Structure formats: C-alpha cells, structure tokens
Amino acid sequence: MEFENFLENEVITMKTRTKLIGFLVSLSLFCALPAFARGPGSKAQGVRSNQTVQSLVPLSTTEQDTLLWMREEEKVARDVYLTLYKVWKKPVFNNIATAEQRHMDAILKKITLFGLTDPVLPNVGTFNNSELQVLYDDMIAQGKRSYVDSLVVGATIEDKDIMDLVAAIKATNNLSLKSTYENLLEGSKNHLRAFVGLLRKQGLDYAPQFIDKDLFDAILGV
C-alpha cells in the first residue's frame, strides 16, 4: 500500500513538473516572437533608425552660398546646351543638357535637405545671380558664331565647373556635400572629354582656362 502511494505521488510530481516545463517553454517562445518577426536584420535596422533621427549639422554661410551657386551654375550649363542644341542640332548638346539636369536635381535635393531656398528661376536663360547671367549671355553669344565656337563654349563651361567643384570639395567637411560634389565632378570630367574630343576631330584643341594643365591632362588621359 505504501509503495502504491509512493508511485501515485511520483506520477503527480512528474505531471506537475511536465506542466511547469511546458509553461516555461511556451513563455520563452512567446517572448522570442517579436524579435523573430523582425528578422535577422533587426539590429541593423535599429542602427539605421538611430542614424535617421540624428540632426543634420548646419551648413556654414560659405557652404550655403556655394551650394546655391552650384545649383545656378549647373543651370547655366544646362540652358546653354539646350539653346545651342536648337542652333546646331548636334546630339552632344542635348545629351549633356540631360546630364546637367540630373546635376541640378542632385543639388536641389541638398538644398531641400538643408532647408534652403532654391534660387533657380523657371525660364531658360534667366538667373538670380547677376554674374552667372553675364556668363550665360557671353557663352550663348560665342556659341552661336560657329559649331566650333559652340564646342569651345562647352569645354569652357566644363573647365570652370571642374575648378569650382574641386574648390567646393576642399572647402567643406560635410560628407553629404562632398559626396554630391564628387559625383558632379566626375560628370563634368566626362563632359569635358566629350567636347575636347569633338574639337580634336575638327583638327583643333582646347587650352584650359580655369584648371591647371596637369589636371587637364589627367582628365584627358594624356
């Protein structure tokens, strides 16, 4: 009789332990579900969220002025090429005008990001900055003289853009601006190669007016 009572108590104890273990396992699985649902990238996503909410470092007055200048300077290039395409019907002007629009868009994103006011006017050939207005007018007057002159104008614009972009990159520690300017710089180098290449097909060459000859030769692969 005592042995039977002992067995009965053992069975009850084992059942109790089994229920307790089952409860603990269920509880641990329940707690783990949210983390499992987030997936293996949940930790990285958390890092990205923290990065997203970090406040932007304000731009200095010089950085702001440079950014706004670049926006209009890219518009000068785009508008000159659009106008010269209408005059000479050469694909190079239409193609590079499209690229310049992408440059303008990239800078506009930064202007918006840093809460600045876009200086660009809607009409082709009109500019807020008087210096850039004069540059546009001069480039158009020269570019309409002949097809060769229009190629010189293209090379000149890219020459100046490269100089300004190199200076802008050196003048800022803002990584976001640096990245954008560096991308634009590579585009301007390609445009310079295109215009100089077409000039050379005409039996002519271009002498840099803004960047030094070493940089010019490096860009052209001399």
Distance CA 168, CA 59 (A): 13
Span of 10-24, 59-73, 187-201, 202-216 with lowest mean pLDDT? 10-24
Please identify which residue in the block is written with the tokens 């949940």: 42
CA angle 205, 208, 210 (to 5 degrees): 160
Q: Retrieve residue 66's tokens.
A: 């440079």
Q: Is residue 193 within 8 Å of residue 99, measured between CB atoms?
A: no
Q: What is the pLDDT of residue 201?
A: 97
Q: Tell me the average pLDDT of the chain.
A: 84
Q: If pLDDT is split at 50, 70 and 90, which confidence band does 44 have?
A: very low
Q: If pLDDT is split at 50, 70 and 90, which confidence band does 143 have?
A: very high
Q: Is residue 126 within 8 Å of residue 136, measured between CB atoms?
A: no
| Better-scored residue on pLDDT, 33 or 103 | 103
Q: What is the pLDDT of residue 55?
A: 58
pLDDT at 54 exceeding the cut of 50: no
